[in-house]
Amino acid sequence: MKRAAIAKMEGGMRYTKLGKSDLTVSRICMGCMGFGDPHNGQHSWTLDEEHSREIIRRGLELGVNFFDTAVGYQSGTSEQYLGRALRDFAKREDVAVATKFLPRTQGEIAAGITGQQHIQNMIDTSLRNLGLDYVDLYIYHMWDYETPLYDIMDGLNRIVQAGKVRYIGISNCFAYQLAKANALAEKEGFAKFVSAQVHYSLIFREEEREMAKLCAEDNIAMTSYSPLAGGRLSKHPGETSKRLREDSYAKFKYDATARQDGIIIDRVARLAERRGVSMTEVSLAWLLTKVTAPVVGATKLHHIEGAAKAVELALTPEDIDYLEEPYVPHKPVGVMAQNTPAASKEQHVWGTGNQKIQGQ
C-alpha cells in the first residue's frame, strides 16, 4: 500500500525533542536490525522485505516517526528495506531516520583511507541504500580505537556541513569518551553528539553509573538498544520465538546472568498481570521514565503494537521500586565487552557484508 493508505494515526503516541536538536521524535523508536535479507548478514532470524514493510507501515499508523538502522545490518539490506518503505508510506519531512557507521577496517587502514574518507564513504553508501539525500541522525556505531578522534569528529562535521546529515549521535562508548569527543568538537567548532544510544533495560542498567548522569547534565538524548533484552523482558518463562532460539549474540549477552535476571523478569510478569497489560508495556514504560526513546525491534505486528501502548502506561513510584529492587551489577557484555583497544586490530564485531562501499 502507498502513502494514501495511512490516513490517520492511531493511539496516543507521544513526542519529544531529541536532546538539544530540533528533531521531534516519537517516544518509541523502531529498531530495524530485524529487517533485512536473512541469507545475507549476521542474523538468520531477520524478516524479508514484504514482512518488514508491514511492520514499518503499522508503526507509522501508530504514530512512530523515528527509525533506527545501520549500514552493518544484513549487508545494507535493512537500510534498503526501510528506505523503500518510507518512500511509499510516509512524507520525508514527517520521519526522523537514523543510521550508523562502523570503524575503519584493517584493510582500509592499510590502503591509507583516512577517518574522514571512511566516514564519507560510509554515509554515501547508507544514503544510496536508503534512497535519501540526507539522514536526520548519523550514529558512530562503536568507538574506533584505530582512528584519531580528531579525524572522526572532523569527518562527521564535514558531512553535516555538506547537508548529508542533520545531527550526529554515538553508541557503544564510555561516558568519558563521549565527554572527550564533545569537548574536542566544542574546541574546534565541530558538530557535537546530540544523542547516545546505549545498552539499557531492566536487566542491564550499568549505564546509570555515569552515562545517564552525563547525558542528563549536558542535555544529550539517551536512547536504548535491546530494551527488551532480545525478547526476554516480554515473554513468560517457557515462551519462545525464532529469535530467542537463533539469536546467538543475544545468548552471549544474557545467558550467563539468566538466573539473577529471571527474578526481575518474574516481577515484570507479575506486575503486568496486576495491571492488566503486557510484559512489553511494563518493561518499556519503566524505560520511558529513564530515556528519550527506547529503540524497539519488531518482527511481528504485535511487537510494535505493544511498544506503542507503553507510552500510555504510567507506573507508580512503588511499581518502579518493585521492578528495580532485585538488580545486581553486571559485567560489560556485547559490543562493549568485545570492542576494546586490545582487540582493535581483530575483525570487527559488525561488518558491512558483501555490499559495495561507495568510494572503494
Check which CATH number belongs to the domain holding 90 and give it.
3.20.20.100
Query: Is the residue at 358 inside a domain?
Result: no
- Within a domain: 356: no
What is the tens place of the pLDDT at every residue in 305-335? 999 999 999 999 999 999 999 999 999 998 9
- pLDDT one-digit tens code per residue, 264-311: 999 999 999 999 999 999 999 999 999 999 999 999 999 999 999 999
Percent of the chain with pLDDT over 70: 93
- pLDDT tens across 69-121, in order? 999 999 999 999 999 999 999 999 999 999 999 999 999 999 999 999 999 99
Which residues are known to be catalytic?
Answer: 73
Does the residue 355 lie in any domain? no
Q: Please report whether residue 44 resides in a domain.
A: yes
Say if residue 9's pLDDT is above 80.
no
| Number of structural domains found in the chain | 1
Structure confidence at residue 346 (pLDDT): 84
Residue 284 maps to a domain: yes
pLDDT of 26? 98
Least-confidence region, from 72-76, 207-211, 216-220:
72-76
* Mean pLDDT, rounded, for 169-192: 98
On whether residue 1 sits in a domain, the answer given is: no
pLDDT of residue 320: 98
Q: The domain containing residue 151 runs over which residues?
A: 13-343
* Residues 224-279 pLDDT 10s: 999 999 899 998 876 766 666 666 666 667 778 888 999 999 999 999 999 999 99
* Residue with more model confidence, 2 or 121: 121
* Three-state secondary structure string covering the chain: CCHHHCCCCCCCCCEEECCCCCCEEECCEEECCCECCCCCCCCCCCECHHHHHHHHHHHHHCCCCEEECCCCCHHHHHHHHHHHHHHHHCCHHHCEEEEEECCCCHHHHHCCCCHHHHHHHHHHHHHHHHCCCCEEEEEECCCCCCCCHHHHHHHHHHHHHCCCEEEEEEECCCHHHHHHHHHHHHHHCCCCEEEEEEECECCECHHHCCHHHHHHHHCCEEEEECCCCCCHHHCCCCCCCHHHHHCHHHHHHHHHHHHHHHHHHHHHHHHHHHHCCCHHHHHHHHHCCCCCEEEEECCCHHHHHHHHHHCCCCCCHHHHHHHHCCCCCCCCCCHHHHCCHHHCCCCCCCCCCCCCCCCC
74 lies in some domain: yes
Q: Is residue 96 part of a domain?
A: yes
